[in-house]
Amino acid sequence: MKKLLITGSSGFLGWNLCQVAQLGWEVWGTYCSHEITIPGCQLMPVDLRDFHALKSLFDEVRPDAVIHAAAQSQPNVCQTYPQESYKINVTASSHLAGLCGDAEIPCIFTSTDLVFDGFNPPYSETDAVCPVSRYGEQKVQAEIEMRDRNPQTIVCRMPLMFGDGGPAAQSFLQPMLQTLRSGQELALFTDEFRTPVSGKTAAQGLLLALEQDEKLLHLGGKERVSRYGFFEQVIEVLEVNQGQIKPCRQQDVKMSAPRPPDVSLDSSKAFSLGYNPLPLRSELLALRGQV
């Protein structure tokens, strides 16, 4: 089997990738602050901000392909600590692309729907980026630098993701479910729209992208939904009987990072290549007993 190196294997997306990729690859993964084990995968502690450690990793593993899923992905943290988040989101990404370029191997970069300002959805691959937060800005810069350093870079813009994240990570779904199950009220935006998918579906899309002759793909789901609308389905499908959800508006909630109102992705190009997210209801049914 060919070797696939997955960065950020202890994170939500990286953990899901490690589960799915084992079917066709010899999987190697990195983690930093959260040590985990994943049966069938070789995991190594590496601080990707340390170029020498990154270079040693490449020399040892000699991967045939890389999926770069490690990131500081919390917009509010990036907004508050831009220099620290830049080191992992941009500098480490650029170094990784350079090493992939030297080895002449493909590298998938997991970017985000938050590279858009949210005023002209749905967004296709041909639409101009216009981020409103530091996180979005850093992802745009990483997209550019990685392409410059490795012509085999494949940028995949990811949507909001949910589901099981393994022993060290979780999606936005778990803490919100915990709030409801404790009997508390949960305020959710009615005016912020995304095209969410499960972590497993996102992982399948990224592995599909490795097989395609495309350098930029959107991997959103097929349903545009607000946070409030999403949790209406969650409550019904997962049979959450405690707590209540109440509608609120994004513009009424003060946050460190600005939030775009609607970054729904047009993923029709990926759909035509075989990417096939299930309906949200089906994705949620598969999570019964897991979250």
Q: Given a cut of 90, is residue 108 above it in pLDDT?
A: yes
Say what the pLDDT of residue 33 is.
86
Contact 28, 61 (CB under 8 A): yes
**Average pLDDT of the segment spanning 174-191:** 95
Fold of domain 3-161+198-218 = Rossmann fold (3.40.50)
Say what the pLDDT of residue 289 is.
85
- Helices 92-103, 134-149: axis angle to 10 degrees equals 20
DSSP, collapsed to helix, strand or coil, labels residue 48 as coil
Q: Given a cut of 90, is residue 26 above it in pLDDT?
A: yes
Tens of pLDDT, residue by residue over 134-157, are 999 999 999 999 999 999 999 999
Q: Regarding beta strands 193-194 and 225-226, do their DSSP bridges make them parallel or antiparallel, or are they unpaired? A: antiparallel
Within 10 A of 52 (CB to CB), how many other CB atoms are there? Answer: 8
**Average pLDDT of the segment spanning 269-281:** 98
Fold of domain 163-195+223-264+278-285 = UDP-galactose 4-epimerase; domain 1 (3.90.25)
**Average pLDDT of the segment spanning 12-22:** 97
Q: Do domains 3-161+198-218 and 163-195+223-264+278-285 have the same CATH topology?
A: no
| HEC sequence for 22-35 | CCCCEEEEEECCCC
For residue 32, give Cα distances in angstroms to 15, 48, 80: 13, 8, 21
Per the DSSP assignment, residues forming a β-bridge with 282 are none
Say what the pLDDT of residue 119 is.
97
As a whole number, the mean pLDDT across the chain is: 97
Model confidence, pTM? 0.97
Share of the chain above pLDDT 70, in %: 100
**Average pLDDT of the segment spanning 67-84:** 98
Instruction: Map out the domains of the chain as residue ranges.
Output: 3-161+198-218, 163-195+223-264+278-285
Tens of pLDDT, residue by residue over 210-265, are 999 999 999 999 999 999 999 999 999 999 999 999 999 998 898 999 999 999 99
Say what the pLDDT of residue 219 is.
98
